[in-house]
Amino acid sequence: MITGRTRIAGVMGAPVIHSLSPLLMNSWIAAAGLDAAYLPFPAVNDFSVSGFRALGESGLAGLNITLPFKTLAAENADTRSSSVEATGAANLLIFSDGTIEARNTDIEGIHYALSESGQGFKGRSVLVLGAGGVARAACAAARQDNASELVVSNRTQANADRLARDFDARSVDWSERQIGAESADIIINATSLGMDGRSSPDIDFSRCKNEAVVFDTVYTPARRPFTDSARSAGLVVIDGLSMLIGQARPSFKALFGSNVPDSIDAETLLRKALGS
């Protein structure tokens, strides 16, 4: 039961109806026996910094931030973690005494997803598709783990060029992304393509390296052309559920002051919710 003492946090995005974060976080809250709740906060696309300020003054403990507000969240916080400074994006805001602290746990989520599959960036060539907040986290994670080469491609070339400059990477035109994929050891979809269950960056994985790893940061719906075609080509596939869990663990600790309880099998819980 929610009372006046209940610690409230949530996830904000546009859209946010697809998010599995409330299911995951509230399952952890119940298992940990906390007087807390985690709610979805749907926002309009022109949501502004004044909205963040108002939410911060409402008594909320904080918010996870998803598309398309990660850059806005980073730019307008009072303090920023080193990971936010590195990426220019924030997926976690902590509200305290009228101030906003920005953090980025997406980097941890990416490392977690790769390690859970026995993979890593070290010494490997990486292609990142996209140029938004998740793409920036992917580039930061690749640089942290000493990837041998980093290539980025985005539908808007100017954004790809900016991302490449920020992370000492090479940008390729969106029309040439297939060429980039064929030489990559790890291919990351950090775009929103696939969230509708139909769209895809359209990579022909049959022409990629046999040992290539395909990492889709999208996790819903359960079946998407990008991951389906990669599996059909026999490649190692990592989907966004592992990243969701990996970024949620430090978020839970920051928002509720408690470690994640070990009694919840997060992946099984979320895959059941997706019907997969």
Q: How many helices (H) does the chain have, and how many strands (E)?
A: 11, 12
Q: 107-238 architecture in CATH?
A: 3-Layer(aba) Sandwich (3.40)
Say which CATH topology domain 7-104+245-274 has.
Rossmann fold (3.40.50)
Q: pLDDT > 70: what percent of the chain?
A: 100
**Active-site residue set:** 70
Residue type, position 219, single letter? Y
Regions of the chain where pLDDT drops below 50: none
The whole-number pLDDT of residue 56 equals 87
Instruction: Name the token pair of 120.
Output: 């890593």
The whole-number pLDDT of residue 47 equals 83
Burial class (CB in 10 A: 0-12, 13-18, 19+), 261: middle
Residue spans of the domains in the chain: they are 7-104+245-274, 107-238
Question: Which residues neighbour 237 within 8 Å (Cβ) at sequence distance 6 or greater?
Answer: 213, 214, 215, 216, 227, 230, 231
This model's pTM is above 0.85: yes
* CATH topology agreement for domains 7-104+245-274 and 107-238: yes
The whole-number pLDDT of residue 110 equals 98
The whole-number pLDDT of residue 50 equals 85
Task: List the beta bridge partners of residue 215.
Answer: 188, 238
Residue 240: CA count within 13 A, CB half-sphere: 26
Q: How confident is the model over 61-94, as pLDDT tens digits?
A: 999 999 889 999 999 899 999 999 999 999 999 9
The whole-number pLDDT of residue 51 equals 85
The whole-number pLDDT of residue 276 equals 63
Pairwise CA distance, residues 266 & 232, whole Å: 26
